[in-house]
Chain A
Amino acid sequence: MGHLWQLISTLLAAVPTVAHATPEPATSGEARELFIQICYLAASVLFILGLRGLTAPDKARRGMQLAAAGMLVAVIGTFLDFRIVSFVWIILGLILGSGIGAAISIWMPMTAIPQRTAISHAFGALAATLVGISHYDYITNVLQEPIGHIEMAALGFEVMFGALTITGSLMAFGKLQELLPSAPITYEYQNEMNISLFIVAVLMFIFLIFAPSDWAIHHVVFYLMVLVGLAVGVLIVVPIGGADMPVVISLLNSYAGLASSATGFALGNNVLIIAGALDGASGFLLSVLMSKAMNRSFSNVLFGAFGGSVAAASSTSTSGLTVKSVSVEDAATQLAYARNVIIVPGYGMAVAQAQHQVRELAEQIEKRGGEVKFAIHPVAGRMPGHMNVLLAEANVPYDKLFDMDEINGEFSRADVALVIGANDVVNPAARTDPASPIYGMPILNADQAANVIVLKRSMNPGFAGIENALFYDPKCSLLFGDAKASLTKLVQEVKRA
């Protein structure tokens, strides 16, 4: 990153000379255009190669450097654009943006990555929307030319999707940062209202494409559509609960990409179309994976307002059953003499900031000859893959982290499954109880281990508000208390055992 930074600064220093170059003859203009297009082509290739790097952890960093180089090449090419007459605002924006971006990425704690991602979707969409508005203003106010139907379709799509992604992402940010209540906010006729508002926006969009070029009306409708887009963004995210955020973030990621792509359509710029399509495909794929991991359909996430009425319907009765609690010493003895231990971390572990204690415990067990693996459910964190990042930060080697599909067959051979701050992802009701709201959701088979130890703050049900029969299983014992404190004690006891 350091080299890149130097490159950018040298580049910026060189810029004014480019800007004040004498007007060139036509052939030189063509050469310049050719150079710009080659830059864009190179950038597109570098982006794709960069993303391919992410298919293997040891190639990932190098891949991302390629992608960053691609971005630099694209920016260099754009600097030569003959339409640019002044670099003042460009450079100010670049400096300001770099400062803020660098500050955020240096000081943002890893637990807050979902929030950062949500807010960056808002920034990305904001940029796309503003470019769209500025382009619209240029054509209608400066050139005063009629907008072609196709161009208007691209512009309309860009600003409408952009606008709803801005506010939608800000709402998601607010919920993740707990500035807004993370529970769904619902009211009567909510879905009907949202859908009608969306239809209004689409009607305006169609009007804009086919309307005669009466600018006064056209302008009013255009800016109204932006406002309606902003409102739709707020209204569609507000009724979605905190537990569904992995799907929402992925979907907004996809929207931000599509808005970028639409910008490319409107400006006739292929690198924008390509980069936006890559982002759109990635976000879409991740949201499908996340929905599958929660056994929910898209429409159910978007219109379901999880948690309200459904939770009461479960038939899993736990009245009359008792849970078995265990002392730290006994739990430590079990862990110390276990051959195979599978740790199931949940978001509760991250909330308690206990990642480092978990790693220490794993090291102690391994020192005594046991084998420790981590079982990561796809929705264990607040965004796709979040739990892996949190454990990697605590120096857990990534070859100990296993996906649900990789590890589910191994629970039956495990001596102990240690569940830390996870609940719904190990709830057997998902397999056995058709009345349960999480029925059909793929879960980690922690209940198949010979012994299960659950670290839990209290007997409160999890995010979805569903009772967990696993806790009442005779081979399951519960260690109550703050995860961090319990783990610290466990580490000491295992050392002593």
Chain B
Amino acid sequence: MTALADLCLLAVEDNTSLTTAFLRLYVFVLAGFVGFQIITKVPALLHTPLMSATNAISGISLVGSIVAAGAQFSTFSTFLGFVAVTAATINVVGGFMITDRMLKMFKRQERK
């Protein structure tokens, strides 16, 4: 707890960064709430597709990876960026494709 208080005190030195950090925290908390509200409504029937879908969506770290791979800050960070782009793309492409493959299988009974 004291560490947290210290952190806040130290952060106050730089007022703008504290404000931005809090804005980001707002975004995080509100997005978390939206997520919670939606996901409680997802039926247990679709929990596996849900997990592979959120997994694909969190492959959004691709965005950060792309900058790291393309900015050429250093050979080291370009290499890390390349591996990160590959890993994140596996998740994005694989995740969306397999979610679609699963959802395609869920069919309603044909009524005669």
Contact = CB atoms under 8 A, between A and B. Distances in A.
Contacts of A90: 66, 69-70, 81-82, 85
Interface residues of B, number: 91
B94 A275 contact: no
A105 B10 CA distance: 47
B65 A276 contact: no
B48 A124 contact: no
Contacts of B89: 93-94, 96-98, 101
Nearest to A56: B43
A123 interface: yes
Tell me the dominant secondary structure on chain B's binding face: helix
Interface string B1-39: 001001100110010011011001001110111111011
A388 B102 CA distance: 10
Interface residues of A, number: 126
A127 B88 contact: yes
A346 interface: no
B47 A102 contact: no
Interface in A78-93: 78-79, 81, 83-87, 89-90, 92-93
Contact of B18 (A55, A150, A253, A272): A150
Interface string A61-86: 10011011011001101110101111
Given A64-B100, A130-B84, A272-B63, A89 B78 contact: yes
B31 A397 contact: no
Given A124-B59, A127-B61, A150-B18, A277 B68 contact: no
B44 A384 contact: yes
Given A75-B62, A134-B73, A392-B107, 11 more contacts: A64-B99, A68-B96, A70-B57, A81-B67, A93-B84, A102-B94, A123-B88, A130-B65, A137-B73, A253-B55, A278-B57
Q: Which among B6, B31, B80, B100 has the greatest number of chain A C-beta atoms within 10 A? A: B31
A388 B49 CA distance: 10
Interface in A479-494: none
Interface string A102-121: 10111010100100110011
A273 B28 contact: yes
Closest 9 CB pairs of A and B: A97-B89, A385-B47, A93-B85, A101-B94, A281-B35, A84-B70, A101-B93, A397-B109, A384-B47
A153 B66 CA distance: 23
Contacts of B36: 281, 285
Contacts of A280: 32, 35
